[in-house]
Amino acid sequence: MVVAYSTQSARAQLFAGAAKGKISLLDAQITPGVRVGRTDPAIDPKGARTVRVIQLLGQRFHRADLARRLLENAREFPEEDLAVRVQTGELDAGFFYSTETAPMGLRTIELPAGTNLANDIAFGIAVLEHAPHPQNAQTFLSFILYGQGKHILESAGLHFFKSLRVVAMPAASQ
């Protein structure tokens, strides 16, 4: 998870400063007049993860009071509305998955390790046991995990685990 902002925002400089560590991200987000958006945690997993991220930021910086204020003040929007409102500067910042922001042209602020849920949000890839073209599937798997595909995904904001774990799954009973 990341915090994203647009250069169209009237507060873009404030968030650029937070990205450089000149002001804490929590302080930037609770600055009077700053408009932060998130999705609804009751209907969107990203919204629920955003609540967790904010709580973790409060714990990390020993500022649970600021985290509570941010949760109270951040407005909830449907996912598509949130993106457009941040892109156009109607909102100053929002919480997003790292993979969402590059195509939207948004600037991002990386969250500190332990608060960004990097170890909680994972994607899996597998070669099926009875794949009709197992060699092609294996080639594609290698492309994604070790080849140019990995670089493409990383440039799109996906972070790979430091070490990959290969697991052989038992065949499902038919």
What are the structural domain ranges in the chain? 2-110, 122-174
Q: Is the dihedral of CA 11, 13, 17, 23 positive or negative?
A: negative
Q: Is the pLDDT of residue 88 over 70?
A: yes
Question: For a pLDDT cut of 90, what percent of the chain falls above it?
Answer: 62
pLDDT (average), residues 25-32: 94
- Give the pTM: 0.78
Q: What integer is the mean pLDDT of 45-64?
A: 96
The CATH architecture of the domain made up of 2-110 is 3-Layer(aba) Sandwich (3.40)
Would you place residue 170 in the very low, low, confident or very high pLDDT band (cuts 50, 70, 90)? low
Provide the pLDDT confidence category of residue 107 given band limits of 50, 70 and 90.
Answer: very high
pLDDT at 152: 85
CA-to-CA distance for 11 and 8, rounded, in angstroms?
A: 8
Dist CA 54 CA 39 (whole Å): 13
